[in-house]
Amino acid sequence: MPNTTTVLPAPVGKWLQIGLWAAQVLIFAAFTLFGCMKFFMPVDQLAAMWVWPGDVPVWFLRLMGIIDFAGGVGVLLPALTRIQPRLTVLAALGCALLQIAAMIFHLSRGEAPAVPLNVILLALSAFILWGRGRRAPIAPRR
């Protein structure tokens, strides 16, 4: 009989859990807010706040709004309800990839002042991706 050893993960600390939930709430708030703005606000009002909305087709702006909103909801709701909590990890991955694309977009247009927010959102998304994917996953409801 082969010698097998079972390695159990280290217990998850209270501060890690608090940090993950705080990051999830922040990503939820940011992505749903920006998503609703991109979807519902008139283009001229958005262009007054940010330069780029006036330079892209309206359908692209509205699609970005839907994607942002879905990412924000996906990072929090599945974990909170414990219904398909693995979707939280996928949403965090999507949010991270979206921020990488946003940084490339802004840098290619010479909009470097917009990038720090993308870096913060990327860091929070990556933290959620790591935390909920590896270190402190949420168990599904039974």
One DSSP character per residue, 30-87 reads HHHHHHHHHHHS-HHHHHHH-SGGGGS-HHHHHHHHHHHHHHHHHHHHHHHHTSSTHH
Global pTM value: 0.90
Q: Residue 12: its pLDDT value, please?
A: 81
Q: Residue 6: its pLDDT value, please?
A: 63
Under a CB-based contact definition with an 8 Å cutoff, are residues 16 and 136 in contact? yes
Weakly modelled stretches of the chain, pLDDT under 50: none
Q: Residue 11: its pLDDT value, please?
A: 75
